[in-house]
Amino acid sequence: MSEQAGHAGIVYWRRSLWNGARCVPVVLSLLPDELRAQDRDGRVVFQGDPRKVEGRLTRLGTLVVDVGGKRYALVGRGSDLSPAPTAGQHAAVSGFQPPSAVSGGAFDEILNGGAAARMRAWHTWLGGAGARLR
């Protein structure tokens, strides 16, 4: 699938602020009329029209989205305790082009593997799809 048709990538759903093992990989996809996240087993975590999504990007690069009245914290990198993405998750995003090179600065690149820059790209894409962002 081409970049014009949508975006997809593996990000991490931070289900707990303190327990790194609860920061789990999800396939986040943005298509013209749908924002969707699927867990390691392929189950839909959330799904909705991007024009009805609200969100914000924190200073540390967490993308907080509100979908259907429920809030989700998404980050570009898991913790050392986080489970690895599955082969199925990697396959689900293999047809999408990776995000264009977005620099998060030296701090983000060295200490965070560019995770904040990846989430900034998602913030931009969501805004372009009509999400109400702060």
Domain ranges of the chain: 3-133
Position 5 scores a pLDDT of 61
Which fold would CATH assign to domain 3-133? PH-domain like (2.30.29)
Cβ-based neighbours of 43, under 8 Å, separated by 6 or more: none
| pLDDT value of residue 101 | 47
Q: Which of 73, 65, 63 minimizes the C-alpha distance to 47?
A: 65
Spell out the per-residue pLDDT of the chain, length 134, in tens: 334 468 999 999 999 888 888 999 999 999 989 999 999 999 999 999 999 999 999 988 899 999 999 999 999 999 889 999 999 999 999 988 655 545 555 554 555 556 888 899 999 999 999 999 99
pTM of the model as a whole:
0.86
Question: Do 64 and 13 form a contact (C-beta atoms < 8 A)?
Answer: no
pLDDT given at position 103? 52
